[in-house]
Amino acid sequence: MLDKIARTDSSSAQFFIRMALAAVIFAHGGQKVLGWFGGAGMDATFKALAVAGMTPLAIFLLMATEIIGPLLLFCGFLTRIAALAIGTAITVCMFTNHVQNGFFMNWFGNQAGEGFEYHILVIGMCLALFFRGGGLFSIDHTLTPKRRFASTLEP
């Protein structure tokens, strides 16, 4: 089972995707959970999301995903699971909060809110990591049997 979850090749592309995604999502988690980067912190975020209608379990899962997920991506450990969790969270966020505002970000302040273009990029990154794994410099790569996945992945 771990072999199927961890399997990856030695491509450096996944490394760069993992690092970029980890940095961006960790910053968002840092805002929500730790109050870093101008964020409200755990208590205020929990209250705001509860008022918005999220259940306590959903709020906990979101916060855990945005803090633990990027750390897993950074190390390249359980990359597929982290990418699936982050991709699921960003998809829910996109459909509940951003689709109604159109595609583009609110660069000039003339929309009701932010569009979903950012979410599409994150989902694309998550899908790439989910299907290809952690790639080079990942713990997943060290767990992948070299005899089977020398240069490409099996279907």
- pLDDT tens string 59-100: 999 999 999 999 999 999 999 999 999 999 999 999 999 999
* Biggest CA pair distance of the chain: 56
pLDDT tens digits for range 93-126: 999 999 999 999 998 988 889 999 999 999 999 9
Rounded to the nearest angstrom, the gap between the alpha carbon of residue 87 and the centroid of all alpha carbons in its chain is 5
> In this structure, what DSSP letter does residue 10 have?
-
Rg (alpha carbons) of the chain, rounded to whole number: 17
For the chain, give the mean pLDDT: 91
Query: Are the C-beta atoms of residues 128 and 14 closer than 8 Å to each other?
Result: yes
* HEC letters along 25-59: HHHHHHHHHHCCCCCCCHHHHHHHHHHCCCCHHHH
Q: For residues 86 and 77, what is the distance between their CA atoms, to the nearest angstrom? A: 14
Q: Where are the domains of the chain?
A: 2-143
